[in-house]
Amino acid sequence: MIAKFDFALNRPEEDQAELLAAVEEFAAALGLPPSVRYRLGLVIDELVTNCIAHGARPGEDRGIRVGISDSGDDMTVEIVDSGPPFDPTAHAGRKCLQPGDVKVGGMGLCLVRNLATRMEYSRSDGFNRTRITLAKSIQENACTSGR
Protein backbone atom coordinates (compact mmCIF):
# COMPACT_ATOMS: atom_id res chain seq x y z
CA MET A 1 0.00 0.00 0.00
CA ILE A 2 1.26 3.48 -0.83
CA ALA A 3 0.74 5.97 1.99
CA LYS A 4 -0.08 9.48 0.85
CA PHE A 5 -0.10 12.91 2.42
CA ASP A 6 -1.62 16.07 1.02
CA PHE A 7 -1.64 19.52 2.60
CA ALA A 8 -2.68 22.88 1.15
CA LEU A 9 -1.19 26.11 2.48
CA ASN A 10 -3.54 28.93 1.59
CA ARG A 11 -1.66 31.43 3.74
CA PRO A 12 1.83 29.88 3.69
CA GLU A 13 3.51 32.02 6.36
CA GLU A 14 0.74 31.28 8.86
CA ASP A 15 0.21 27.65 7.83
CA GLN A 16 3.85 26.48 7.74
CA ALA A 17 4.08 25.38 11.39
CA GLU A 18 0.82 23.44 11.08
CA LEU A 19 2.14 21.77 7.92
CA LEU A 20 5.36 20.65 9.63
CA ALA A 21 3.42 19.27 12.59
CA ALA A 22 1.20 17.32 10.18
CA VAL A 23 4.26 15.97 8.34
CA GLU A 24 5.77 14.82 11.63
CA GLU A 25 2.50 13.12 12.55
CA PHE A 26 2.33 11.40 9.15
CA ALA A 27 5.96 10.22 9.41
CA ALA A 28 5.46 8.96 12.95
CA ALA A 29 2.32 7.04 11.93
CA LEU A 30 4.39 5.29 9.24
CA GLY A 31 6.93 4.25 11.88
CA LEU A 32 9.80 5.98 10.09
CA PRO A 33 13.08 6.19 12.04
CA PRO A 34 14.12 9.57 13.50
CA SER A 35 16.68 10.27 10.77
CA VAL A 36 14.13 9.83 7.95
CA ARG A 37 11.45 11.76 9.84
CA TYR A 38 13.88 14.62 10.37
CA ARG A 39 15.01 14.66 6.75
CA LEU A 40 11.46 14.58 5.45
CA GLY A 41 10.43 17.52 7.64
CA LEU A 42 13.61 19.43 6.88
CA VAL A 43 13.31 19.10 3.10
CA ILE A 44 9.68 20.26 3.18
CA ASP A 45 10.49 23.09 5.59
CA GLU A 46 13.29 24.38 3.35
CA LEU A 47 11.33 24.12 0.10
CA VAL A 48 8.23 25.80 1.50
CA THR A 49 10.38 28.54 3.06
CA ASN A 50 11.93 29.00 -0.36
CA CYS A 51 8.51 29.21 -2.03
CA ILE A 52 7.50 31.88 0.46
CA ALA A 53 10.73 33.84 -0.09
CA HIS A 54 10.47 33.72 -3.87
CA GLY A 55 6.70 33.52 -4.06
CA ALA A 56 3.93 35.71 -5.29
CA ARG A 57 3.61 39.31 -4.24
CA PRO A 58 1.03 40.30 -1.63
CA GLY A 59 -2.44 40.30 -3.13
CA GLU A 60 -1.62 37.56 -5.63
CA ASP A 61 -2.55 33.90 -5.29
CA ARG A 62 0.07 32.47 -2.92
CA GLY A 63 -1.12 28.90 -2.62
CA ILE A 64 1.34 26.06 -1.98
CA ARG A 65 0.43 22.38 -2.01
CA VAL A 66 2.63 19.71 -0.42
CA GLY A 67 2.26 16.05 -1.25
CA ILE A 68 4.17 13.03 0.08
CA SER A 69 4.06 9.49 -1.26
CA ASP A 70 5.64 6.59 0.58
CA SER A 71 6.42 3.93 -2.00
CA GLY A 72 8.34 1.52 0.20
CA ASP A 73 12.03 2.19 -0.39
CA ASP A 74 11.61 5.89 -1.13
CA MET A 75 9.61 8.90 -0.04
CA THR A 76 8.58 11.32 -2.79
CA VAL A 77 7.81 14.92 -1.91
CA GLU A 78 6.05 17.19 -4.40
CA ILE A 79 5.73 20.91 -3.80
CA VAL A 80 3.42 22.83 -6.15
CA ASP A 81 3.26 26.60 -5.87
CA SER A 82 1.74 29.41 -7.84
CA GLY A 83 4.60 31.86 -7.48
CA PRO A 84 6.80 33.23 -10.26
CA PRO A 85 8.94 30.67 -12.11
CA PHE A 86 11.74 29.46 -9.83
CA ASP A 87 13.87 26.39 -10.46
CA PRO A 88 15.44 25.29 -7.15
CA THR A 89 17.63 22.74 -8.92
CA ALA A 90 19.50 25.65 -10.52
CA HIS A 91 20.22 27.27 -7.15
CA ALA A 92 21.17 24.31 -5.00
CA GLY A 93 24.86 25.10 -4.72
CA ARG A 94 27.81 22.79 -4.25
CA LYS A 95 27.58 19.45 -2.52
CA CYS A 96 29.91 20.15 0.43
CA LEU A 97 31.01 23.26 2.22
CA GLN A 98 34.66 24.20 2.22
CA PRO A 99 36.17 25.95 5.26
CA GLY A 100 37.41 28.87 3.16
CA ASP A 101 34.16 29.25 1.24
CA VAL A 102 31.45 29.60 3.85
CA LYS A 103 28.42 31.56 2.67
CA VAL A 104 25.18 32.35 4.45
CA GLY A 105 23.00 32.44 1.32
CA GLY A 106 21.52 29.36 -0.31
CA MET A 107 21.97 27.07 2.68
CA GLY A 108 18.43 25.72 2.62
CA LEU A 109 18.48 24.54 -0.98
CA CYS A 110 21.97 23.15 -0.48
CA LEU A 111 20.65 21.02 2.39
CA VAL A 112 17.82 19.78 0.17
CA ARG A 113 20.24 18.85 -2.57
CA ASN A 114 22.46 17.00 -0.12
CA LEU A 115 19.56 14.95 1.23
CA ALA A 116 17.73 14.19 -2.02
CA THR A 117 18.51 11.20 -4.17
CA ARG A 118 16.62 12.96 -6.98
CA MET A 119 15.54 16.57 -7.42
CA GLU A 120 13.38 17.60 -10.36
CA TYR A 121 11.63 20.80 -11.40
CA SER A 122 9.04 21.64 -14.00
CA ARG A 123 6.81 24.58 -14.78
CA SER A 124 3.35 24.04 -16.20
CA ASP A 125 -0.03 25.78 -16.17
CA GLY A 126 1.41 28.65 -14.13
CA PHE A 127 2.71 26.41 -11.34
CA ASN A 128 6.20 25.47 -10.14
CA ARG A 129 6.43 21.74 -9.47
CA THR A 130 9.40 20.52 -7.46
CA ARG A 131 9.75 16.81 -6.84
CA ILE A 132 12.22 15.38 -4.34
CA THR A 133 13.01 11.72 -3.77
CA LEU A 134 14.37 10.69 -0.37
CA ALA A 135 15.78 7.23 0.24
CA LYS A 136 14.64 5.52 3.42
CA SER A 137 17.88 3.56 3.72
CA ILE A 138 20.52 6.17 4.34
CA GLN A 139 23.81 5.42 2.63
CA GLU A 140 25.44 8.72 1.75
CA ASN A 141 28.96 9.51 2.88
CA ALA A 142 30.08 12.34 5.09
CA CYS A 143 32.13 15.15 3.59
CA THR A 144 35.59 14.08 4.66
CA SER A 145 37.46 14.65 1.43
CA GLY A 146 40.29 17.15 1.24
CA ARG A 147 39.86 20.73 0.07
Size of the site for another protein (CB under 8 A): 33
Q: In whole angstroms, how close is the CB of 120 to another protein at the nearest point?
A: 20
- Write the binding mask 93 to 122 for another protein: x where contact by CB under 8 A, - elsewhere: ---xxxx--xxx--xx-xx--xx-------
Query: 8 or 21: whose CB is closer to another protein?
Result: 21
Q: What is the SS3 string spanning the chain?
A: CCEEEEEEECCHHHHHHHHHHHHHHHHHHCCCCHHHHHHHHHHHHHHHHHHHHCCCCCCCCCCEEEEEEECCCEEEEEEEECCCCCCHHHCCCCCCCCCCCCCCCCHHHHHHHHHCCEEEEEEECCEEEEEEEEECCCCCCCCCCCC
Q: Which stretch binds another protein (CB under 8 A): 70-78, 82-90, 120-128, 133-141?
A: 133-141
Closer Cβ to another protein, 72 or 100, answer by number:
100
